[in-house]
Structure 1
């Protein structure tokens, strides 16, 4: 008997990007695929590994950066949207640290381990803030100022729809979770609910004593919270804080919760939100304090993945097709944003500059035809960063401008892309002499 030949899938058959970092996150996400597809042949200049499959009516690309942090995530997604040109939006799915408020009379409103926090636009923000980018104020106060783009409309509408479904006890998130819990796959061993007795929130001024777990920590220092009647996770919608460092300070956590309304901390979204149309979905696995452990990571990964799959259930493929490809956003990075990045260099620490330098080096390598620029160890860190910044932007934004730092002052000189590229191509002395006075350098 002859069977009809199945159409061979191509890169253009996939419309949803799914980003996770930790092994637990990848395992949970992969377990929720309704169908796993054969891998496609690798593309040149793309070192990513992908898991391909179907969730409901959507073909999904699961990608996993090699390292945590905004830089690795940015490079990974840049490659993904260049390879899978029909991807419309992404889901950042995994675990995060909670920012619990003081105990309330309604335990459903309190953030607990195993709950989900979803980035959602509110009060003038897009759902994600980069908390380690901002400025120092008099008196030693640090003001975060990098509010990032909101999710695309198709995701915003789906989130509101799903929120209503869950309020009425509908949706399939719980069924997806039960399916994982009942699975006999060895890979999913240990992904079940850890138990309410291991959901421990210590007072903000009490630090972890010793060891991997909190067996030596004083029970008298635990916050007294009302016990929930159900072990089902609650879904919270609001602001997620993203940065390049793990949040392990209860004092800083509480400060950002009070001032910014932060509900969760994570380490990838800040490298993506301005370019990649996406939403961040985090299962809470710790309380962003010194008492961190990995006990809740497997279960919280499942909870986040189950919510993400339920969200895709709400979205019709026709809505996805009407959404512009994600790669359009990568080619439309605004010149004004690049100028603002330059103006922040003078007030950045060496650590922040090195982070940005590494990010630009990775981005530049990821371009189809990477622009090369000459740098030298004797050049200042800010000079080297400015050169790489403009070399990268010149390919994406030929008419853009960049601020180039002075050697002697925090002032910046404004140069056109063509000007700075010509300077970069000349010898180091011409470059350093030109910016030393912070004046505009003429075309060479």
Structure 2
């Protein structure tokens, strides 16, 4: 007798006033059509709709993976929004390993909500689930689909088109201060603000004078301003010569002002020098100690893909390593964008977590940072990448991070120490409310859906409220892939990256060019892009990254001289 071919069968499981649950399963059956069973034909051959109700799926074991997301429906009559929750619960065939299941569930979900053909209505949503299960995900045995109306609910305000975000904002002291901090240690003129912000000179001067009265900015000369870093900052034309015992062996490079503040809060015995110039790039160096180690920190004047920014980042790093020639270890410390996992709690990266650049254990090339210069879809539906990969000659810093990764009490103590030292310093250094950590997926045409953070499954331990979470993985960069969307997820999976940064490849080019064998990038997660969007989380994420940096430095072998 010929073996029956598997069909994809949909059956209603339950229905209430505001929810519907369906079961879609793979079955070897040959049913006959009736008033309760619809057997599809043509392009939909192999799909069966069973209209019997109150069906139990017969599965007693807990689901192998699950997720829930929310769509915001608009009433054509009133224009008001209502929120609908959609849950998916997965059971796979026995030959799929527990390790593979979350990856398969995540891949299914990403394809289901792909911007190319996101289903706009209920029928299209169920139809796409069945077609994916029928033609591609043949290890998926059973899927439970729940749709639940949750009443009125406004869509996310945070996801606004870039064109709207980039419109000229009204001037405020905070916006002027943000510009000064981004440029630091370079000074800005009044004309710089007028050109960049499209503001009047009078508005700019009023804001700058107010900031100067508050001790946040400093006039270097007539109409030229810089961030006032600390009261004891020394402005010099050249760095003073340091005796051998004061030479740092560790350099820390930051890109944002709050990152440098967080890193400096981890050091003792600080001295800050600014080499100020009106031609070319100014430089800031803060010298201090962490445990037995001498450390120097700096901030890049700008980052990004403009020729000026790339040149400045590389030159700043080269000058740092040229002045402090005893530096052996280089840390890139700051914020980054997390790569979420929608179905696996252990692999999920959330705001406030920290990612330490480390090689992927399942890849032969032990790269810790991968910069993507170009990403293109190929004829097979996959992606082709042009990349610049980086790996240290010595993995000492990564090895220490791996050894300490289960000792979260160390990180938490340093976070609390940093909070004490930063008390009174502008910025919200404490973690924002958890409700602000909203996870979204772009579905095309400027629209987003909100996805619930995964919950622990099986023997996974719930770490909520138990302190800082540290992940070890490669870090990625490159605006070709770091934005939201399919390319971001695809490249992260390709590189095994759990974080993206704001494009620091020029810094690493200089580090490797100067033959520094030990380097690491530590990213505190402030958003789900590249770290530059999540202003609310940046100070705390920077502090978390700095705390992990301090933990690694404190565990390093003591200096030999």
* TM interval, short-chain normalised: 0.5 to 0.7
Corresponding residue for residue 493 of structure 2: 258
Alignment of 1:202 onto 2:440:
yes
Corresponding residue for residue 37 of structure 1: 271
Q: 1:98 to 1:318 in 2, by over 3 A?
A: same
- Equivalences for residues 33-432 of structure 1 within 5 A: 33-37=267-271, 39=273, 47-69=282-304, 71=310, 72-104=312-344, 107-122=345-360, 123=363, 124-133=365-374, 142-153=383-394, 156-167=395-406, 169=407, 172-183=410-421, 185-187=423-425, 189-205=427-443, 221-226=450-455, 228-243=463-478, 247-276=482-511, 277=516, 278-288=519-529, 292-318=533-559
When Rg is computed on C-alpha atoms for both structures, the one with the higher figure is 2
Q: State how far apart, in whole Å, the 2-side matches of 1:158 and 1:118 are.
A: 9
The alpha carbon displacement at 1:22 in A equals 0.7
Task: Find 2:251's aligned residue among 8, 11, 17.
Answer: 17
Q: State how far apart, in whole Å, the 1-side matches of 2:297 and 2:339 are.
A: 28
Equivalent residues of 1:97, 1:266 under 8 A apart: yes
- Compute the TM-score of the two structures, normalised by the length of structure 2: 0.48
Equivalent residues of 1:241, 1:262 under 8 A apart: yes
SS at match of 1:262: coil
Equivalent residues of 1:125, 1:148 under 8 A apart: no
Q: State how far apart, in whole Å, the 2-side matches of 1:126 and 1:234 are.
A: 22
Corresponding residue for residue 364 of structure 1: none
The alpha carbon displacement at 1:98 in A equals 0.9
Q: State how far apart, in whole Å, the 1-side matches of 2:531 and 2:541 are.
A: 19
Equivalent residues of 1:269, 1:280 under 8 A apart: no
Equivalent residues of 2:371, 2:477 under 8 A apart: yes
- Compute the TM-score of the two structures, normalised by the length of structure 1: 0.60
Equivalent residues of 1:283, 1:304 under 8 A apart: yes
Equivalent residues of 1:114, 1:299 under 8 A apart: yes
- Tell me how large the CA RMSD over aligned residues is: 3.3
Q: State how far apart, in whole Å, the 2-side matches of 1:171 and 1:245 are.
A: 37
SS at match of 1:172: helix
Q: 1:192 to 1:152 in 2, by over 3 A?
A: farther
Give the total of aligned pairs. 300
The alpha carbon displacement at 1:112 in A equals 0.7
Equivalent residues of 1:158, 1:314 under 8 A apart: no
Q: 1:28 to 1:201 in 2, by over 3 A?
A: same
SS at match of 1:163: helix
Structure with the bigger percentage of strand: 2
The alpha carbon displacement at 1:9 in A equals 3.7
Q: 1:175 to 1:182 in 2, by over 3 A?
A: same
Equivalent residues of 1:148, 1:270 under 8 A apart: no
Deviating more after overlay: 200-209 vs 232-241: 200-209
Q: 5+ residue gaps in structure 2?
A: 1-240, 456-461
Q: 1:288 to 1:140 in 2, by over 3 A?
A: same
Q: 5+ residue gaps in structure 1?
A: 1-7, 210-216, 322-444
Q: 1:53 to 1:183 in 2, by over 3 A?
A: closer
The alpha carbon displacement at 1:41 in A equals 7.3
Measured against aligned partners, the alpha-carbon deviations of 1:191-246 in whole angstroms (never above 9, x if no partner) come to 1011221111123427866xxxxxxx77xx32342274325221111111122678
The alpha carbon displacement at 1:190 in A equals 1.0
Corresponding residue for residue 260 of structure 2: 26
Deviating more after overlay: 110-119 vs 243-252: 243-252
The alpha carbon displacement at 1:161 in A equals 3.1
Q: 1:223 to 1:45 in 2, by over 3 A?
A: closer
Q: 1:185 to 1:230 in 2, by over 3 A?
A: closer
The alpha carbon displacement at 1:99 in A equals 1.2
Q: State how far apart, in whole Å, the 1-side matches of 2:479 and 2:471 are.
A: 23
